[in-house]
Structure 1
Amino acid sequence: MDETGIRLRIAPELRLFLPASRRHEWHDLACDGTSSLGHLVESLGIPLTEVGPMTAVGPMTAAGSGVESSYQPGPGDVVEVVAIPRPQPMGGHGARFLLDVHLGTLARRLRLLGVDTAYHNDMDDPALVVQANAERRVLLTQDRGLLRRRALWLGAYVRGSRAEEQLRDLLERFEPPLLPWTRCTACNGELSEVAKSEVERDLPDGTRRGIDAYGRCLDCGQVYWRGAHSDHLERIVAEAMRLTS
């Protein structure tokens, strides 16, 4: 390394954010004397929401000194850039989420598991940030630009292209408490048991004859029962409970 530059060591878990041609361990960068460590990490394509506690070794630091993203590295500094620890500490905040427009299937699965999950299919990025901040929800997305918005209080990149992979990633990262079958998958409202006599006039004939147990969303009024797709949903719930047990 040029002693006038800075060297970053990128953890394997973070290299997926690097361009395919540059997914190597060590990155040598010029030292301009003004850029923060956070700016340098983001310039490589890594969202700071995915970075854990960093340490630096250099002429002006003790070996293994912890440094913040605001730290201005100097010539000769070597910085360890590691992934956010799993499970991720929430600092006293509960695991409440807001998902962007591209994660609708994941939103429904989280609600199925009883996780407080807000989702809109028509909300733009600035509005997402406003809601996440106001309600102290973790904003989940695969949009790195959205995660780099300075106003955002807390976000997370969702790994995986399929809903199964995305759900596993979220459960491993945040370990949210699971209360399956307690939330409306349509609106996130809480479900309450309801007598069959109160809803039977709105039920299909086959359902009315064969099923006696029902739930209703306290917010939107949607009625739920164990039907033709229950086996598939049961498998999703069982796998999630296994992962978090």
Structure 2
Amino acid sequence: MAGKNKSLKKTFFVRCYAELNDFLPPEKRQKTFSTQFKTPVTVQEILISWKIPLSEVDLILVNGQSVSFSHFLQEMDRISIYPTFESLDISNQTKVRNHGLRESRFILDAHLGKLAKYLRMLGFDTLYRNDFEDDDIIEIAQKENRIILTRDRLLLKSSKINHGYFVRAIDKHEQLREIVQKYDLYSQFKSFSRCMTCNYPLTRIEKSKILPKVKPEIARVFDEFFYCKNCDKVFWKGSHFKRMEKYIRDLI
């Protein structure tokens, strides 16, 4: 009989906040619900069973106290699970992460090439290659302290990921709006400071130095030019720039 009692399921009360509800079935979203698991069980094991990526969780409270993923739960515990707080510094409260992230740098998977260009347009250091393997993305993100953005939920399952986010939107413009709002990036905009093609920082260049690289009619009309040393491209504030500038104003 004693052996059977050990395997009995215990009841817990859980509430997930904000976008973490996207990973739950509809009947469990935006409310406190009861759940049962065999004990001993950790917070991490519960999250994994619900397919909530650990990289999207920034704070876990059990009965009002901050705990780590490895915290063992007791019957009738009340668990509150919060998503990433990139716009707030909770480093002195959370026990989930080793360190916070105050500078927003990104690495994107193969599904998000257009979003990568838009983030670079806003001045964010954004790595992207359509041939990145998942292990490459995780290793680079760890080494360079980057946020992984992906449309692949399986990628975010890795326990090695500190900062990752599943992009919900499909449209490239809505994806950019989603990321800007999610990480509260408005104050970090440095628009048109990076090459949208390769991510290398742009520098101002004297008109006389780029004359061989642009058409004569461009040189006659424009006086301000920017240069990408990495891919040897010259940029100027033409009609395409005006359209992008309007888009950024609308975004703000």
- 1:238 partnered with 2:249: yes
**Which whole-Å deviations, capped at 9, do the CAs of 1:76-99 have from their partners, x for residues lacking one?**
222122333362547265211111
**Which whole-Å deviations, capped at 9, do the CAs of 1:69-117 have from their partners, x for residues lacking one?**
2111122222122333362547265211111111111111111111111
1:11 alignment partner, one of 6, 12, 17:
17
Alpha carbons of structure 1 residues 236 and 158: separation in structure 2 relative to 1, 3 Å: same
In structure 2, how many angstroms separate the alpha carbons of the residues matched to 1:94 and 1:84? 14
In structure 2, how many angstroms separate the alpha carbons of the residues matched to 1:146 and 1:3? 31
The one-letter code matched in structure 1 to 2:13 is: R
| SS of match in other structure, 1:70 | coil
Bigger mean CA offset, 26-35 vs 94-103: 26-35
Residue in 1 that maps onto 2:48? 42
1:29 alignment partner, one of 35, 42, 56:
35
Please, what TM-score do these two structures have when normalized by structure 1? 0.84
Residue in 2 that maps onto 1:202? 213
**Which whole-Å deviations, capped at 9, do the CAs of 1:168-190 have from their partners, x for residues lacking one?**
22223333422112111111111
Instruction: Return the offset for 1:223.
Output: 1.0
Bigger mean CA offset, 26-35 vs 173-182: 26-35
Instruction: Return the offset for 1:137.
Output: 1.2
Contact 2:9–2:37 (Cα < 8 Å) also in 1: no
**Which whole-Å deviations, capped at 9, do the CAs of 1:119-144 have from their partners, x for residues lacking one?**
11111111111111121211111222
Contact 2:55–2:162 (Cα < 8 Å) also in 1: no
1:178 alignment partner, one of 184, 189, 205:
189
| SS of match in other structure, 1:98 | strand
The one-letter code matched in structure 2 to 1:144 is: R
Instruction: Return the offset for 1:221.
Output: 1.5
| SS of match in other structure, 1:31 | strand
Question: Within 5 A, what are the aligned runs for 1:14-163?
Answer: 14-20=20-26, 23=29, 25-57=31-63, 64-85=64-85, 87-89=87-89, 91=100, 93-163=102-172
Alpha carbons of structure 1 residues 224 and 19: separation in structure 2 relative to 1, 3 Å: same
The one-letter code matched in structure 2 to 1:102 is: H
The one-letter code matched in structure 2 to 1:107 is: A
Superposition CA RMSD, Å: 2.4
Q: Percent identity?
A: 29
| SS of match in other structure, 2:239 | coil
The one-letter code matched in structure 2 to 1:50 is: E
The one-letter code matched in structure 1 to 2:35 is: L
Structure 2, gaps ≥5 residues long: 1-7, 90-98
Alpha carbons of structure 1 residues 71 and 21: separation in structure 2 relative to 1, 3 Å: same
Please, what TM-score do these two structures have when normalized by structure 2? 0.82
How many residue pairs get matched? 234
The one-letter code matched in structure 2 to 1:155 is: G
The one-letter code matched in structure 1 to 2:148 is: L
